Amino acid sequence: MTLLLFLGVLFLAILAGLPVAFALLLAAMALMLQLDTFSPDILAQGLINGVDNFPLLAIPFFLVAGEVMSKGGLSERIVRLAMSLVGHRRGGLGYVAVLTAIVLAGLSGSAVADAAALVSILYPMMRNAGYPEGRSLGLLASGGIIAPIIPPSLPLILIGVAGNISIAKLFMAGIAPGLMMGLTLMLVWTLMMRKEDIATLPRATGAERLAALRDGIWALLLPVIIIGGIRTGIFTPTEAAVVAAVYAILVSALVYRTLTLAMLYDVLLAAGRSTAMVMFLVAAAMVAAWLITVAQLPQQLALTLQPLIDSPRLLMLVIMLIVLAVGMVMDLSPTILILVPLLMPVVQMAGIDPVYFGLMFVMNCSIGLLTRPVGTVLNVICGVGKVQMSVAVRGVTPFVAAYAALLGLFILVPELITVPAAFLGG
């Protein structure tokens, strides 16, 4: 009854058009009334305690780094480097898109930002070269959702906080599945391009490749610094965010000379606004998570899923189907903050690796960014590329199917994630 009350109030509030953070607070207040513990003081204190968490300090700094990378011209340099390496192949611009998406994922951690950058730079080039419009958009959108998997990833930070999972381990575990997502896109693109008669770009000379590498090396060093520093224990993920922000500002201002004081002000303002939205959502979610624990909702959910506890793979399949259904109608961050506190105790009872669960959860939610009716990334690419939604939906469908197959493979063979995670995490 209590579980139905919480979920009912939450989803009714969201359907009524209330922002998710306020819907979470409303559901939390409903729980407090149900438990006869309502107190404005406890509610206010819970909001403060919800964001009084050191790992969350990484969010504003990674947002600053991502904004600087976006406005500092680093995306264009990465595209030029990728074009010099694989642009001459059949369907070469598609491979350029995937390689660029992987590198950008290691810079920004935002699916929306990466998808927008890919479409704004590469879509006009692909359209002018005669590539199929829908397939091109589908590939670019699908490349954008690699960002939440490869570190630095804001969703991985959120799921680490919400599920009490090591963020450093999540970061290391995200590298292998992120690369496998890129390889999956390349495989699907290769199959698509077999019958397409599209002119290829001339092969870049060694000097041109060296010049592109020299121009883009400063951008490529950022993910190396972040991952290497965390892996060797030089700094924590939160400290890595500070290093990333400072490095991005120094490179853009002093090396590439593309960042002015006026641009820096705009960058800090945009990052501040994004941080405020994310932090309020986290604060509301932490209040709800505390009341979820007090009301013993995870135990009620565990009783419902009790027949599956002894079959971890089947349990993961059911959980992933639930997450996929919710992710289709809700954005990534709210889905994490609402469902993870509910599901984590059940996952632990079944003996499922929390890091593996966290990666699977984020990957599943990321796929939801490509699906209707919400499809945040779909809306972004349609706006940036100025195309109809129907074209984007048709174009993205084969790549969503490929991602779903990859997700199914990870359910059948968890070692594809857990073994590289153990190796990279030391």
SS (H, E, C) 315-369: HHHHHHHHHHHHHCCCCHHHHHHHHHHHHHHHHHHCCCCHHHHHHHHHHHHHHHC
Contact 139, 402 (CB under 8 A): no
pLDDT value of position 42: 77
In a domain, 43, yes or no: no
- The answer on 124 and 32 residing in a single domain is no
In a domain, 44, yes or no: no
- The answer on 68 and 28 residing in a single domain is no
**Mean pLDDT lowest among 70-79, 353-362, 383-392:** 70-79
Who has greater pLDDT, 153 or 149? 149
At 354, list the tokens. Answer: 């929390």
- The answer on 10 and 127 residing in a single domain is no
Angstrom distance (rounded) from CA 357 to CA 97? 28
In a domain, 190, yes or no: yes
Average pLDDT, the chain: 85
In a domain, 48, yes or no: no
- Distance between start and end Cα atoms, the chain: 44
In a domain, 128, yes or no: yes
Angstrom distance (rounded) from CA 99 to CA 81? 10
Distance of CA 100 to the CA centre of its chain: 16
Angstrom distance (rounded) from CA 323 to CA 383? 27
- The answer on 166 and 24 residing in a single domain is no
Indicate the number of domains in the chain.
2
- Element (H or E) spanning 114, and its range? helix 111-128
- The answer on 58 and 31 residing in a single domain is no
- The answer on 149 and 67 residing in a single domain is yes
- The answer on 85 and 172 residing in a single domain is yes
In a domain, 259, yes or no: yes
In a domain, 326, yes or no: yes
- The answer on 26 and 164 residing in a single domain is no
Q: Taking residues 372-400, what's their average pLDDT?
A: 85
- The answer on 95 and 8 residing in a single domain is no
Domain with 234 in it: 53-425
- The answer on 154 and 277 residing in a single domain is yes
- The answer on 185 and 70 residing in a single domain is yes
Confidence of residue 199 (pLDDT cuts 50, 70, 90): low
Query: Which of 58-72, 79-93, 310-324, 369-383 is most confident?
Result: 310-324
**Mean pLDDT lowest among 15-29, 157-171, 335-349:** 15-29
At 120, list the tokens. Answer: 């704004």
The answer, as to whether pTM is greater than 0.75, is yes
Q: Is the pLDDT of residue 1 over 70?
A: no
At 218, list the tokens. Answer: 């400063």
pLDDT value of position 352: 92
In a domain, 47, yes or no: no
- The answer on 5 and 114 residing in a single domain is no
Confidence of residue 410 (pLDDT cuts 50, 70, 90): very high
Angstrom distance (rounded) from CA 121 to CA 123? 6
